[in-house]
Chain A
Amino acid sequence: MLREIRPAIVLLLVLTAITGLAYPLAMTGIAGAIFPAKAQGSLIEKDGKVIGSALIGQEFKDDKYFHGRPSATLAPDPNDSTKTVSAPYNAANSGGSNLGPTSKALADRLKEDVDKLKAENPNAPVPVDLVTTSASGLDPDISPEAAQFQVPRVAKARNIPEESLKTLVAANTEGRWLGLLGEPRVNVLALNLALDRASAK
């Protein structure tokens, strides 16, 4: 058995060097050369400043923008570091609400949000993804129904016809991969950037 000690130490160190250093560092170099933008996190710049990542959702509260899903991410409480406070779309601490199906807190939150949305647009059923928090708290997407649901509000805030907004939403809707995998979706940041561009014209 004693002769197993040398391989236990040396082999471990060699394999650690290969899999823990050589492999990730080599992949960082290669991936950075082939897919430079994606390897950095698909960042979007506007006027030379980073405004976010194409893949990471961000918070929209203004009526003139389309809103993303509710987010349950947290951040350390600035007044007491042992506690946390709500910080939607905190991209440095991802996570979901973790509220279960019989949670009273969840039921109350859902009811409040549904009532708010019904008041905003009484003519359409409330899409489920607009009132449920995502798993990561950073979901960049909403369903096409959730985007269409917000058209009247955005049209009113921007004073533009609903029809042109509906076209914009349709143009920013991504289908299933090969018509099969995943779900149809609208990237909220991309849609809002397109909206700003269209309004600027």
Chain B
Amino acid sequence: MTVIGWLQIVLFCVVIVALTKPLGYYMTRVFNGEKTFLSPVLRPIEAGIYWISGVDEKREQHWLTYTVAMLLFHVGGFLIIYGVMRLQAVLPFNPAGQVAVAEDLSFNTAISFITNTNWQNYGGESTISYLVQMVGLTHQNFLSAATGIALAVALIRGFSRASMRTVGNFWVDVTRCTLYVLLPICVVYTLFLVSQGMPQTLGDYVDATTLEGAKQTIAVGPVASQVAIKMLGTNGGGFFNANAAHPFENPTALSNFVQMLSIFALGAALTNVFGRMVGNQRQGWAILAVMGVLFIAGVTVTYWAEASGTSTLQALGLTGGNMEGKEVRFGIVASSLFAVITTAASCGAVNAMHDSFTALGGMIPLINIELGEIIVGGVGAGMYGMLLFVILAIFVAGLMVGRTPEYVGKKIEAREVKMAMLAILVLPLMILGWTAVGVVYPAAVASMANAGPHGFTEVLYAYTSGTGNNGSAFAGLTGNTFFYNLTLGCAMFVGRFFMIVPAMAIAGSLAGKKSIPPSMGTFPTTGGLFVGLVVGVILIMGGLTFFPALALGPIVEHLAMNAGNLF
């Protein structure tokens, strides 16, 4: 670990905190339906969209209608992706002549993109056409991100409203999020990325003759426009197989830094949106503080582990950290930081290969996802995930003093706690359940690339990433098999929607409750005690659930490595 390395980490944190308030202010106005500086340009387009699609923007929806609208929207999204993948051979924008994608891989990819997971069983440049990249993937990158944010805003409205039957209008929230938040940022962001060297072209792959006379086919494409939303929307599905490690998908140290910022920016801003909507910004800062504590702890461990290297490297006298699967322009610190960010948020883009991380360095990304990606989290998903943990923490605090717990003026009762528990139990069910199948089913075992405990970690990571809708991978695992395409598809689907429905039920139930003013007995939720309590609940829940699995994977591998065992 070096001083300049830590300076890069500190700079990242400072910029994120500085962006939180202005972005939160802007997004609050967008979701309250107020005028913004972009309204003169965008308002006519917005009104036109409502007119042709028959949306009455004044009419709000009950939580159940809101949820059904969201589900219908995703059925359509699924069909579009599945359709263009199966038909890409006869559709335009296919200069590399890619053939139809197989049924199981198309199924997996379609689920993967509508759930904001973007797990890459497809190899970007080697499997799919530009049309699929644009119409299938870029478009769903926008819509799954907009959906996540819309759902978080609906849950926040549950807290901020009193005695109401509705939580907002899904169509309006998604449209406004896309038009006012995602698209304008992406336009500027795309141009910045191209200025750093990222391609943006519909031309053919380029055939070059290298200095030594060999032939090199260089894949290009409309990369920048997709990368912009892939990062901003915490989607993470790469244009290229190597994702943000590919020099075209992340050309410079600066493009890397901005990509990291864009993963966290909207998620962090949502804490401020929460604070503003419930009428006290300090409530938002307290939640951001919980995320910050967990984040710094994770970065410290991963950076330390990667900088220390492995016993194999040390035995050969190689210093400078574990550079296997990392790029020179990012080095140890920017690769470690990126890995923690991408798994804290449910982004899943990678600028280094997590499979080649040290045992402990690779364990942190795994833990980040297993905790539910609530450290800033996926856009929207992180916020509603964190609020579920807050409900549990408040409930625990209530139990200790024997009072009905309250949070931002709402009584937290049996229904909310049950729903929160239901949502949180989805994670161990899918992750541990499928991992257990994956390590005994012969066709699944054959997919492991590494032997010993590392192979187990590959399978655990795959289901963790799928269920958590992250999308990063211990990429040695051959995921593009019938078994993994199907079971990971299931994990991604359940991990996304079985979390959303209970969260929306909580939103509906809270919106209907009266708001009670704070009294002497109210537990203050803006201070250090609250932050400590939530951090504690998260770690205990995560630890109790996943420690045994982690002990079998990364922990035993670390011990084996120190003992000099190779597999």
Which positions in A face B, CB cutoff 8 Å?
Answer: 1, 3-12, 14-16, 18-21, 23-25, 27-28, 30-32, 34-35, 38-43, 49-62, 65, 69, 89-104, 106-107, 110-111, 114, 125-129, 131-143, 176-177, 180-183, 185, 189, 192-193, 196
CB-CB contacts below 8 Å: B102-145 with A = 123, 125-126, 134-136, 138-139, 141-143
Of A5, A56, A95, A142, the residue contacting B72 (CB under 8 A) is: A5
The answer to whether residues A134 and B325 also contact, given A28-B225, A32-B201, A62-B212 and a CB cut-off of 8 A, is yes
For A59, the chain B residues whose CB sits under 8 A away are 210, 212, 214
- Count how many pairs of residues, one from A and one from B, have CB atoms less than 8 Å apart in the complex: 381
For B522, the chain A residues whose CB sits under 8 A away are none
User: What are 18 A-B pairs at a CB distance below 8 A?
Assistant: A15-B49, A19-B141, A51-B208, A52-B216, A59-B212, A60-B211, A92-B219, A93-B241, A96-B324, A98-B356, A100-B476, A102-B557, A102-B560, A106-B324, A131-B316, A135-B351, A176-B253, A182-B329
The answer to whether residues A138 and B246 also contact, given A10-B54, A58-B211, A103-B567 and a CB cut-off of 8 A, is yes
| Closest chain B CB from A31 CB (angstroms) | 4
The answer to whether residues A193 and B253 also contact, given A38-B194, A98-B474 and a CB cut-off of 8 A, is no
For B208, the chain A residues whose CB sits under 8 A away are 43, 50-53, 58
Give a binary string over B298-323; 1 marks a CB under 8 Å from any A CB, 0 the rest.
00000000000110110011111111
For A193, the chain B residues whose CB sits under 8 A away are 211
Of A16, A25, A57, A133, the residue contacting B324 (CB under 8 A) is: A133
For B123, the chain A residues whose CB sits under 8 A away are 93, 95
Say whether B519 faces chain A, with CB atoms less than 8 Å apart. Answer: no
Interface segment, B152-160, B450-458, B523-531, B541-549? Answer: B450-458
The answer to whether residues A128 and B318 also contact, given A14-B53, A24-B138, A98-B356 and a CB cut-off of 8 A, is yes
User: Which residue of chain B has the shortest Cβ distance to A101 in the bound complex?
Assistant: B310
Say whether B330 faces chain A, with CB atoms less than 8 Å apart. Answer: yes
Give Cα A5–Cα B310 distance, bound, in whole angstroms: 56
Q: Are B352 and A65 in contact (CB under 8 A)?
A: no
For A132, the chain B residues whose CB sits under 8 A away are 322-326
Say whether B488 faces chain A, with CB atoms less than 8 Å apart. Answer: no
Give Cα A141–Cα B328 distance, bound, in whole angstroms: 6
Say whether B412 faces chain A, with CB atoms less than 8 Å apart. Answer: no
Kindly list 9 other residue pairs between chains A and B, CB separation below 8 angstroms, not including A99-B355, A101-B322, A131-B316: A8-B73, A8-B75, A19-B143, A56-B216, A58-B216, A96-B324, A101-B358, A104-B451, A132-B324
Of B134, B248, B355, the residue contacting A56 (CB under 8 A) is: B248
Say whether B353 faces chain A, with CB atoms less than 8 Å apart. Answer: yes
| Closest chain B CB from A21 CB (angstroms) | 6
Give Cα A100–Cα B561 distance, bound, in whole angstroms: 11
The answer to whether residues A107 and B312 also contact, given A41-B206, A89-B216, A128-B318 and a CB cut-off of 8 A, is yes
Give Cα A107–Cα B205 distance, bound, in whole angstroms: 35
Of B65, B197, B203, B225, the residue contacting A54 (CB under 8 A) is: B197
Q: Are A181 and B253 in contact (CB under 8 A)?
A: yes
Of A56, A96, A196, the residue contacting B325 (CB under 8 A) is: A96
* A104, A136, A140, A196: residue with the most chain B Cβ atoms closer than 10 Å: A136
* A24, A28, A50: residue with the most chain B Cβ atoms closer than 10 Å: A24
| Closest chain A CB from B128 CB (angstroms) | 13
| Closest chain B CB from A74 CB (angstroms) | 10
Give Cα A52–Cα B207 distance, bound, in whole angstroms: 8
Q: Are A27 and B135 in contact (CB under 8 A)?
A: no
For B331, the chain A residues whose CB sits under 8 A away are 182-183
Give Cα A58–Cα B324 distance, bound, in whole angstroms: 18
Give Cα A88–Cα B523 distance, bound, in whole angstroms: 61
Give Cα A192–Cα B252 distance, bound, in whole angstroms: 20
Say whether B485 faces chain A, with CB atoms less than 8 Å apart. Answer: no
For B224, the chain A residues whose CB sits under 8 A away are 27, 31, 39
Give a binary string over B242-270; 1 marks a CB under 8 Å from any A CB, 0 the rest.
10011110011110110000000000000
For B247, the chain A residues whose CB sits under 8 A away are 55-57, 136, 138-140
For B316, the chain A residues whose CB sits under 8 A away are 110-111, 114, 126, 131
User: Which residue of chain B has the shortest Cβ distance to A144 in the bound complex?
Assistant: B328
Q: Are B356 and A101 in contact (CB under 8 A)?
A: yes
User: Which residue of chain A has the shortest Cβ distance to B310 in the bound complex?
Assistant: A101
For A94, the chain B residues whose CB sits under 8 A away are 125, 219, 240-242, 245-246
| Closest chain B CB from A185 CB (angstroms) | 5
List the 4 shortest-distance A-B pairs measured between CB atoms, nearest first. Answer: A182-B253, A20-B139, A98-B476, A135-B245
Say whether B52 faces chain A, with CB atoms less than 8 Å apart. Answer: yes
For B171, the chain A residues whose CB sits under 8 A away are 7, 11
Give Cα A180–Cα B6 distance, bound, in whole angstroms: 10
Say whether B357 faces chain A, with CB atoms less than 8 Å apart. Answer: yes
Give Cα A7–Cα B53 distance, bound, in whole angstroms: 5
| Closest chain B CB from A134 CB (angstroms) | 5
| Closest chain B CB from A68 CB (angstroms) | 9
Say whether B475 faces chain A, with CB atoms less than 8 Å apart. Answer: yes
Q: Are B135 and A21 in contact (CB under 8 A)?
A: yes
Q: Are B560 and A27 in contact (CB under 8 A)?
A: no
Q: Are A110 and B313 in contact (CB under 8 A)?
A: yes
For B178, the chain A residues whose CB sits under 8 A away are 15, 18-19
For B328, the chain A residues whose CB sits under 8 A away are 69, 129, 134, 139, 141-143, 183, 185
Q: Are A23 and B138 in contact (CB under 8 A)?
A: yes
| Closest chain B CB from A179 CB (angstroms) | 8
Give Cα A56–Cα B352 distance, bound, in whole angstroms: 16
Q: Are B254 and A9 in contact (CB under 8 A)?
A: no
Say whether B334 faces chain A, with CB atoms less than 8 Å apart. Answer: yes
Of B72, B136, B200, B217, the residue contacting A31 (CB under 8 A) is: B200
